[in-house]
Amino acid sequence: MHDILSQEYGLAGSIGGVVYAQTGNTTSGSSSSGKPLLTLVAGILGIDQKKVEDAFTQAQTEAQTKALDNRLKDLVAKGKIT
């Protein structure tokens, strides 16, 4: 289970890190081309940027919640917390 938790944190961190590296923050800012990364994604997908931002925020929240839940379950299973 620890490996799964590490992978989830790693994936969430990687996605957030890529967006941060490209934009300077998680939702807006300038990429190397001068356009916000999420604006570029929205353009490529042909959807509204707000929908992309909302989906990214939701994905981050869900990944963090799942990782925390898995970590707590692991600690309970190991008898470290009850």
Is the four-CA dihedral 48, 12, 24, 33 of positive or negative sign?
negative
CA dihedral 41, 47, 48, 54 (to 10 degrees): -70
pLDDT at 30: 47
pLDDT at 76: 96
Integer Cα distance of 3 and 5 in angstroms = 5
pLDDT at 34: 46
pTM flag (> 0.75): no
Integer Cα distance of 27 and 39 in angstroms = 9
Model pLDDT for residues 7-65, shown as the tens digit of each residue: 555 655 666 665 555 555 555 444 455 478 999 999 999 999 999 999 999 999 999 99
Cβ-contact 12, 67 below 8 angstroms: yes
